[in-house]
A and B are shown apart, each in its own frame.
Chain A
Amino acid sequence: MSVEHVNVGEDVALVDLIDRLIGGGVVLTGDIVLSIADVDLVYLGLRLVLAPAHVVEDSVRLSRPPRRLEE
């Protein structure tokens, strides 16, 4: 068994907070609601910072387009 209670401010808590700020809360839709672009990028950036190094490397590798030999 392993139990860990994380205080607000630590990494897992920070990811949960940001996830809930962006993915939780009251959702309003309709013409009168203006949404803000690029919110997902904030989230993605934090995920990358907090992810283990090998995961970041993998995701960077996967997202990088294949190089052409002449480049």
Chain B
Amino acid sequence: MVVLYAIVPADQAATTPDGLRALARGSVAALYDEREEAHSTSRQDLLDFGRVVNDISDAGPALPVRFGTVVESLDALGALLESREEEWRERLATVAGHVEIVVHAQDAAAPAPSPAAPGSGREYLMSRAAARRHSEAMHDDLTAALRAHCRETRRLQASEEIRVACLVPAGETAAFRSAVESWAGAQPGRRVTTTGPWPPYSFTEKET
């Protein structure tokens, strides 16, 4: 079976990391590994996969493929590349020269949903709605503050915080982090954490 790692520009396929092969169709290529068995799903295998994707991204523009993606044959992979070449070429041009930084933001002053108690259904729903409105407003405010420093953003799932992936020019991460600090400092109670730089995991598809 064919285990996929990343989609890269066809002219970058020559710099494939050790152990990987490349299959090109038109302007794009897939970096893959042929194995008898797919990845196991241990944490170590996952992190090893991440390390390879990181090396690929360090070498040039790349669209990481989701961990665990396996196709049945090289013919099938070739057909996939042909059918999505245009989409992947556009995405590769977008992420070229950029890295992903994830911003986690919390606000100590945010209204917390009151715990559900017997007979307080309306109050509970209203408190949840208020918390949701606050969260939406904080997300909009954060992305507006960072817009000048990143090409695209994606809101990521999070339960008790705002989590936003930002596509930042690779040479401007310090300015981006300064903008995050300024945003956090604009109001008391805001707590912000950033992680990265990562390969552009969250920007492999056009924003819908």
What is the interface of chain A, defined by CB distance below 8 A to chain B?
A: 1-6, 8, 12-13, 16-28, 32-39, 41-42, 45-46
Contact = CB atoms under 8 A, between A and B. Distances in A.
A61 to B, nearest CB: 16
Interface in B36-55: 38-39, 41-43, 46-47, 49-50, 53
Interface stretch (B15-23, B72-80, B111-119, B135-143): B72-80
Given A16-B102, A39-B68, A26 B204 contact: yes
Nearest to A2: B191
Interface residues of B, number: 53
A6 B180 CA distance: 13
B195 A28 contact: no
A28 B80 contact: yes
A5 B194 contact: yes
A18 B39 CA distance: 15
Contact of A3 (B42, B184, B196): B184
Contact of A28 (B71, B165, B194): B71
Contact of A16 (B180, B181, B195): B195
A25 to B, nearest CB: 4
Nearest to B154: A24
Interface in B186-207: 188, 190-196, 198, 201-202, 204-205
Contact of A34 (B67, B71, B80, B202): B71
Contacts of B181: 1, 3
A20 B65 contact: no
B204 A24 contact: yes
B61 interface: no
B46 A33 contact: no
A22 B180 CA distance: 26
A8 B53 CA distance: 14
A25 B63 contact: yes
Given A16-B102, A16-B198, A19-B156, A33 B69 contact: yes
B150 interface: no
A53 to B, nearest CB: 16
Given A2-B184, A26-B69, A32-B79, 19 more contacts: A1-B184, A1-B185, A2-B190, A3-B194, A5-B193, A16-B196, A17-B198, A21-B201, A24-B64, A25-B64, A26-B88, A27-B66, A28-B69, A32-B73, A35-B68, A39-B41, A39-B67, A41-B41, A42-B43
